[in-house]
Every structure is written in C-alpha cells, then in structure tokens.
C-alpha cells in the first residue's frame, strides 16, 4: 500500500500588502477612512439598533472620533492580526453608507476574517453583500488565503442571511459563549474555503 503524499506547505500571503485603493465593485468604492468621514460614521455608530449585536457602542462623538482615527490607520497588512478598515461609498453619489473590516487572522495558515457595519437607512440595496464579496475576493484572489471566517451574535439573523448569500457555510454554534449587554448570548461561525470561492466564480 502506498503512503499518501504529504501536501505541500501553504504559501503565506505576500506582506506587507495594501490594496490598490479604491477597491471598486459594480456600484461601490472601498477606500481608507479619513477624518472627514466622522459625521457619516458617527451617524450610525451612535444608533442603538446598529450596535445591538456588536461589542461596542452606541458611541458618543468622542468615541466615534477615536474610532475614526483608529480606522484611518488600518490600511496595510504587515503581520498576522493586522486589519484593514475601509469606508464604503456609493460611487454615483459619494455617500458613505458603512465600513467593512478585513482581518489577516493567520499568515502561516492563510486564514482571514471579515466584518461589516452599515447605516440602516441604506439597507435593502445589497451594499453590505457587495462590499463583503469584495473582501472575499481580496482575501482569496489577492492574498491567496485558504479560509475566511465571520463570527456573529446568534440573534443576528439578518447578518446570517448576508453571509449565506455570500455562499459561506455555517460551521459552528457556540451556546452562551459571550456575555453582552447583561446576558449570555450565542456566537455563530460562518466560513468559506478557497476552493468553494473558486467554484462560485465558474
């Protein structure tokens, strides 16, 4: 009986890495956050319904200014754990509708993660799905990642539907895994593999 061949070690993504900004989709531009984005970002960071399933907020003006300042520095991936945080603008109007996050979770294991926060006034247009798909493309096609993951509060059914539209698979449901807003809540994990992404593109 022959011994199965050992698969080759994964090739780590090339670092440092900065996307060619803006990242353009059919309708959107994803670009680094700037100080001028404060009014638009604070407009949704201050809303309780936006922050309901997140680890922060609602934020006052000072909190949002700190958040915007931090986001504006996150434009390049240099090592595992680094983050890109990008403003999402509708190209036709220049309206900032939300921001998205891409995390290089592990360079060695070619793992990444995505996240998103959008103003509810702009829901129903598919902007979050379109912007998140751009992050998946960045991770799989630009960085050569093997797996991209997203985590969400188990009560956030709207976010779960978005991830399912992206073709991500529900991999785990951690019961009462986190203590948020005075109660124990579940965490749900979705993920997509590079070969599944490639199959989607055919």
In tens, the pLDDT along 168-188 reads 999 998 898 888 777 898 899
Q: What's residue 59's pLDDT?
A: 96
Query: For 186-200, how does the pLDDT look when each residue is reduced to its tens digit (9 = 90+)?
Result: 899 999 999 999 999
Domain 23-201: CATH superfamily is Gcn5-related N-acetyltransferase (GNAT) (3.40.630.30)
The full set of domain ranges for the chain reads 23-201
pLDDT-flagged residues of the chain (< 70) = 1-10
- pTM of the predicted model, to two decimals? 0.91
SS (H, E, C) the chain: CCCCCCCCCCCCCCCCECCCCCEECCCEEEEECCHHHHHHHHHHHCCHHHHCCCCCCCCCHHHHHHHHHHHCCCCCECCCCCEEEEEEEECCCCCEEEEEEEEEEECCCCEEEEEEEECHHHCCCCHHHHHHHHHHHHHHHHCCCCEEEEEEECCCHHHHHHHHHCCCEEEEEEEEEEEECCEEEEEEEEEEEHHHHHHHHC
Q: What's residue 2's pLDDT?
A: 54
């Amino acid at each position: 009986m022959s011994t199965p061949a050992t698969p080759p070690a994964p090739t780590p993504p090339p670092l440092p890495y900065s996307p060619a900004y803006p990242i353009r989709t059919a309708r959107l531009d994803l670009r680094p956050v700037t100080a001028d984005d404060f009014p638009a970002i604070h407009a949704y960071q201050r809303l309780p319904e936006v922050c309901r399933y997140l680890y922060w907020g609602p934020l006052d003006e000072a909190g949002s200014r700190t958040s915007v300042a931090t986001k504006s520095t996150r434009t390049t991936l240099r090592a595992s754990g680094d983050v890109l945080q990008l403003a999402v603008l509708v190209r036709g109007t220049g309206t900032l509708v939300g921001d998205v996050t891409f995390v290089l979770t592990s360079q060695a294991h070619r793992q990444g993660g995505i996240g998103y926060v959008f103003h509810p006034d702009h829901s129903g247009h598919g902007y979050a799905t379109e912007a998140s798909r751009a992050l998946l493309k960045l991770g799989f096609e630009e960085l050569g990642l093997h797996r991209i993951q997203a985590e969400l509060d188990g009560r956030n059914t709207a976010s779960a539907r978005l991830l399912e539209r992206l073709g991500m698979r529900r991999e785990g449901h951690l019961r009462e895994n986190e203590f948020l807003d005075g109660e124990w809540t579940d965490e749900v994990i979705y993920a997509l593999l590079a070969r599944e992404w490639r199959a989607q593109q055919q």
